[in-house]
Copies of this chain bind each other. A is one copy, B any other.
């Protein structure tokens, strides 16, 4: 009974994350002369891009081939955008929270999938970060913008922090459920705090491109 509840809760987190990722893609596509179907594709790529690259690198079957719910959730996200535009606007902070929870969740999914594949801890952290971040990068590339991720590091760095905490907790022999909850929470808190207090890394100053002139 408890176990069933746990599974349902995991699925709920997964769907919420997918929904928020898809919305972030669809929002960014709006106002760029992109039609509904194009917006759906952008939402989809944002939601499943990171996990797809992870699965290609791990040489396992892409997760969405086994389960149609990611395509359906993205369709619901598009529908919600078309129907409740104004309300979605008011829900800005709720969506941000979904997005952050989703980030924490998919990062840990990426880590556990990589552990199952027998990879060393640092590769698992990279795979978790790829799972959480790459969708948004591909979204920005397709929409012809310099990825937000590179300008505001909070996103990927939060995944790295969560990954680090995951393996510390694992090293301390915490039960795997606890380890996962701690790691998800780390990603969420790390990002919320960084965004709330405008914490960010310094930017890389211009360097002469003499190299390219050679």
A3 near B: Cβ within 8 Å?
A: no
Stretch at the interface among A105-113, A164-172, A179-187, A201-209: A201-209
A18 near B: Cβ within 8 Å?
A: no
* Contact B96–A35 (Cβ < 8 Å): no
- Size category of the binding interface on chain A: 35 or more
Which residues does chain B contribute within 8 Å of A122, judged by CB atoms?
Answer: 68, 71
* Contact B207–A38 (Cβ < 8 Å): no
Which residues does chain B contribute within 8 Å of A34, judged by CB atoms?
Answer: 146, 150-151, 203-204
Copies in the complex: 3
CB distance from A112 to the nearest CB of B (A): 17
Which residues does chain B contribute within 8 Å of A207, judged by CB atoms?
Answer: 26-27, 30-31, 81, 85, 88-89
Residues of A41-79 at the interface with B, using a CB-CB cut-off of 8 Å, are 41-42, 52, 56-57, 59, 61-62, 65, 68, 71
* Contact B144–A146 (Cβ < 8 Å): yes
* Contact A142–B147 (Cβ < 8 Å): yes
Knowing A56-B57, A57-B62, A65-B119, say if A28 contacts B209 (CB, 8 Å).
yes
Residue of B nearest to A44 (CB): B126
**A-side interface mostly:** helix
Report how far A97 CA is from B58 CA in the complex, Å. 34
Knowing A59-B59, A68-B122, say if A35 contacts B92 (CB, 8 Å).
no
Which residues does chain B contribute within 8 Å of A210, judged by CB atoms?
Answer: 89, 92
* Contact A61–B62 (Cβ < 8 Å): no
CB distance from A163 to the nearest CB of B (A): 13
Which residues does chain B contribute within 8 Å of A144, judged by CB atoms?
Answer: 141, 144-146
A131 near B: Cβ within 8 Å?
A: no
